[in-house]
Amino acid sequence: MSRIKIAIQGELGAYSHIAVEKLYKDAEIKTCATFEETFKQAYNDANYKIVIPIENSLAGRVADIHYLLPKYKLQIHGEFFLPVEHNLLGKPDANIEDIKYVRSHAQAISQCQKIITEKKFQPIISVDTAGSAKDLAGGKDKTIAAIASDLSAKMYNLKILQKNIEDDAGNVTRFLIMGKNIEQPEYVESKRYITSCIFRVKSEPSALYKCLGGFATNQVNLTKLESFSVKNTFDQANFYLDLEGHLEEGGVKKALEELGFHTETLDILGVYESSSFRLK
């Protein structure tokens, strides 16, 4: 049996790598330099799925993802919530007193402001957490540390100078599992589902109010609604929406039909089982 192929953004040891290991056994992982390269991999090769972070409980949504969703229109096959534990990593011969600079992805930097401020570290923004660890391992400067996972420490032979340096406990990142093919589960009444879509409202008064009215009248719960600009303009916005329910449920179907009537574009990104993490 062939191994499942997964593309991630970042180097091995990234939190996306950890998510893949928890989701799939013995997956064949392809690392990509950027989120767009990751999306392109699945768009050009339907044999690949991608595991992409979309939002974090502390830092909010991950930049660029919302713009790539309508561009490539990959289908969401599932979601996964990963508790994130950041670690301060140094060279094997370094101590925390040696550190003057700390390198990591912008999201990780923003999630660890307490220690950065307390220790007066100078932050260096990097493409990803594991890449920061890999670069640190390849250099000789022990005044630089990286914020990354404990898996990164093991993979790149780095010393954990301090564990769990995130500002708040309960730091969780939500990942989406996506692919080119539609993989919509059959509706089972006993299961919980999420339906995700992106839409653009008509340029008219009360447009968004009209779009959302169908969810209220059909008693459909929205778990997320976010706007982002269209093609760097302030004139119109796209909206990303997650709702509780399956397309085959009557209320969801009616609500989306009404949404479609009041929008210029409406793309269903996927129907998938709701993670048990949501019940906590």
Query: Where in the sequence numbering do the catalytic residues fall?
Result: 173, 175
Total Cβ atoms within 10 A of residue 210: 17
Question: Which backbone phi and psi does 39 adopt, to 5 degrees?
Answer: -60, -40
In the sheet with 193-201, reading across from the earlier edge strand, the strands are 222-230, 233-244, 193-201, 263-273
For 93-115, the three-class secondary structure string (H helix, E strand, C coil) is CCCHHHCCEEEEEHHHHHHCHHH
CB 8 within 8 A of CB 50: yes
Q: How far is CA 122 from the centre of its chain?
A: 26
Q: What burial class does residue 26 get, using C-beta atoms within 10 Å of its C-beta: 0-12 exposed, 13-18 middle, 19+ buried?
A: exposed
CB 251 within 8 A of CB 220: yes
Q: Which residues contact 211 (CB under 8 A, 6 or more apart)?
A: 199, 201, 239, 258, 259, 262, 263
Question: Which backbone phi and psi does 155 adopt, to 5 degrees?
Answer: -70, -35
